[in-house]
Amino acid sequence: MIFIHPLADVHSSNIGENTNVWQYCVVLQNAVIGKNCNINCHVLIENDVKIGDNVTIKPGVQIWDGVTLEDNVFIGPNVTFTNDLIPRSKQYPESFTKTLVKKGASIGANTTIVAGNTIGENSLIGAGSVITKDVPANTVWYGNPAKQKGTIDEKGKITYD
């Protein structure tokens, strides 16, 4: 069963079983959302977006065109994605820059992800970070600009550099 809160504005029919979409969310028509996801309140999901299975998106997040979240991804509150590297009012690129968050990655609250980067499998991004380059799998990053501070194993044990 799919749960869509009555105060959500959902236009996509591409939503997997056991997914919850909470109040004040906007999901555009061509968005694809997998199974067993939890889309918290105040989330915007544009058209050219793919979200895998078992994804959690906390409140206040906008998932813009060109963003892909693979399975088992955690997106913390107020994470900011960008999709246009040279934004100008009323001037739109031919296509938006792609961003990929690979399976099992976790992104902490208030992090900014600059468009065009890949966040590696099972990586952990600390709250408030600014990601300006690709993040390798199984690494821990934080800061502004974020830098690698350690590694993380499949059980979540962190080893600091």
pLDDT digits (tens, 9 = 90+) for 56-111: 999 999 999 999 999 999 999 999 999 999 999 999 999 999 999 999 999 999 99
Both tokens of 134, joined, read 């690709």
pLDDT of residue 151: 98
Residue-level length of the chain? 161
User: What stretches of 95-149 show up as alpha helix (H) in DSSP?
Assistant: none
Between CA 118 and CA 101, with CA 47 as vertex, the angle to 5 degrees is 15
Secondary structure of 70-104 in HEC code, one letter for each residue: CCCCEECCCCEECCCCCCECCECCCCCCCEEECCC
CB 59 within 8 A of CB 41: yes
CB 111 within 8 A of CB 75: no
The CATH architecture that domain 1-161 belongs to is 3 Solenoid (2.160)
For the segment 1-21, what is each residue's pLDDT rounded down to a tens digit? 999 999 999 999 999 999 999
pTM: 0.97
pLDDT of residue 30: 98
Look-up: residue for tokens 């997040």? Answer: 61
The rounded distance, in Å, linking the Cα atoms of 18 and 82 is 28
The rounded distance, in Å, linking the Cα atoms of 42 and 38 is 12
Residue 35's nearest CA partner among 51, 20, 19, 22 is 19
The domain spans of the chain are 1-161
pLDDT (average), residues 135-157? 97
Q: Residue 154: pLDDT above 90?
A: no
